[in-house]
Chain A
Amino acid sequence: MARIDVKKTYKLYIGGQFPRSESGRSYVVNDAKGALQANASQASRKDARDAVVAARKAFGGWSGRTAYNRGQVVYRIAEVLEGRRDQFVAELRASEGVAGAKANAAVDAAIDRLVWYAGWADKITQVVGTANPVAGPYFNISSPEPTGVVAVVAPRSPLLGLVSVVAPVITTGNTCVVIASEPHPLTAITLGEVMATSDLPGGVVNVLTGSVAEIAPWLASHMDVNGLDLTGVEDADLATSLEVAAADNLKRVRRAPAAEPDWLAVPGTDRMTDWLETKTVWHPIGI
């Protein structure tokens, strides 16, 4: 007897759970050859709202952990991703239509990227924090603090691009709401499964799939979002309107790049420092 296919349902990843969209909508995701790959949830503004609430709730605990511990958790994501590499290779081959070797290389790079950022977790403070010389009997110390909830529009590259924008946000102690690549959303949800089964607390990363033009404006104008990463916004007009909306509560904005960056290049620390704010403390000497 022929066996019935067990097709996977791709849902959202919010607060450590995998809910369907509140709106009940879904959209068709095609593979590289134009055939049906799966249906993905089409998130609404209310899903975005719920995701921000989850991210805000997770922020206190996550930012309060030691940097060393956050590094361990990000490394753990890399470990779990390594264990499920075959699944990701298969998904990348289907969705992007790339050859096995190229898909393998992308998964390798994504894992390495996580390890790279994990190493930075307890070192970024030494690099961008300072002890300032001041004209008085004080210790004067500047240290980087996480910004808060960051809304991220993920780039087209389904795995490496996604990891490259999410890892720096969470490594530095922020929590995030990610809108996955609109044409390639499935890998983002599978990565959500990886995060759910590593030691990452629920709500630190929340993944929405659906229309960027529909969801992003609600996140850009949301008064409880502190940062906005427009890396994946390809429409210049949309990017401009999002920046305008973000100005209302002075969100930190990382502007959309002119073209998709080369994700295989060594990233540098700017994606981390974008989501850090400098706190300076004066402390009297000699007491």
Chain B
Amino acid sequence: MTTTSASTASAGVFDDITSSESSLRRFLHGLPGVDQVGADARAAALGTRSIKTTAKAFAIDLAIRMVDLTTLEGQDTPGKVRALASKAMRPDPADPTCPAAAAVCVYPDMVATAKQTLGDSGVNVAAVATAFPSGRAALDIKLADTRDAVEAGADEIDMVIDRGAFLAGRYQQVYDEIVAVREACGSAHLKVIFETGELQTYDNVRRASWLAMMAGGHFIKTSTGKVQPAATLPVTMIMLEAVRDFREMTGQMVGVKPAGGIRASKDAIKYLVMVNEVAGADWLDPDWFRFGASTLLNDLLMQRTKMQTGRYSGPDYFTLD
């Protein structure tokens, strides 16, 4: 085996499991199956909590701090990335009490531009790498992509797994790729994107979560945002259960990032309730939970303004992005 998992703190626990394709398969297929109807029902039930007044104000500010402000378009220009980075630092220029977003998420070639604007503001730069969004390229190309982004100054790398290999059952290949990318990341944090919309079943989401955590991912992320359905409540719940169980087993915390399709403050608050109920309050922190979003931020800001002024705000008063 070439998987020198020295950088993985929990390496020892899983050495037996990850030593061969068949043991990996035995472990992943031995995970308890997900009750799909039950998962959907629990996620829906958690979404009915009423969060009002001070709790709502807290949730909105927390959600703003958790936003990975994202632009992943072919039409991205340095100007747009600079504007987005400025917005991440001061989401509401009219209100100095408004917290900053967690990070700006861009393609690797835009990392330097984003870094230049953000400086040492505390807002991180996340780069999608490894042949995003399809993940269909040779390993050395994926690694080169990752190293480029890290060298340009990315603090976080969002990699995509090879869904084709995963669905075909080549778990070892997926595992080795994550380990290799993690090494290429150096000190940068690694987020592993599953593209749950392509994984077909909740069982697969659970397996992918364990696979990525065993391979040393710092974060597990639902989607690229390029495939529908993107992030959903039940899928995020299954991932939160996985990180909770992983901590029980190894003592190590892994973050979760739903991305794509979360546009309203109300939805974001549903996710926060679920984080608190499923994983625990420890995860209610930008270091352990993020939202991959762009339009969500404006809705959060409008809700924030509404709570402060007592009147409904409108999109005219916030930047377009």
Contact = CB atoms under 8 A, between A and B. Distances in A.
Is chain B found bound to chain A in the same assembly? yes
Interface string A219-263: 001111100000000000000000001001000000000000000
A116 interface: no
Interface residues of B, number: 8
Interface stretch (B149-157, B280-288, B306-314): B306-314
A49 interface: yes
Most buried by B among A218, A223, A224, A248: A223
Contacts of B312: 49, 52, 218, 221-224
A225 B312 CA distance: 10
Interface of B is mostly: loop
Contacts of B317: 223
A49 B299 CA distance: 13
Most buried by A among B311, B312, B316: B312
Nearest to B316: A224
Contact of B313 (A56, A218, A224, A245): A224
A52 B306 CA distance: 15
A56 B315 CA distance: 10
Interface string B17-35: 0000000000000000000
Contacts of B310: 221
Interface string A40-57: 000000000100100010
A208 to B, nearest CB: 14
Contacts of B311: 218, 221-223, 245, 248
A222 B302 CA distance: 11
A158 B283 CA distance: 55
Interface in A20-38: none
A222 B310 CA distance: 10
Contacts of A224: 312-316
B310 to A, nearest CB: 8
Contacts of B313: 223-224
Contacts of A56: 314-315
A53 to B, nearest CB: 10
26 contacts: A49-B312, A52-B312, A56-B314, A56-B315, A218-B311, A218-B312, A221-B310, A221-B311, A221-B312, A222-B311, A222-B312, A222-B314, A223-B311, A223-B312, A223-B313, A223-B314, A223-B316, A223-B317, A224-B312, A224-B313, A224-B314, A224-B315, A224-B316, A225-B314, A245-B311, A248-B311
Interface of A: 49, 52, 56, 218, 221-225, 245, 248
Interface of B: 310-317
Given A221-B312, A222-B311, A245-B311, 13 more contacts: A49-B312, A52-B312, A56-B315, A218-B311, A221-B310, A221-B311, A223-B313, A223-B314, A224-B312, A224-B313, A224-B315, A224-B316, A248-B311
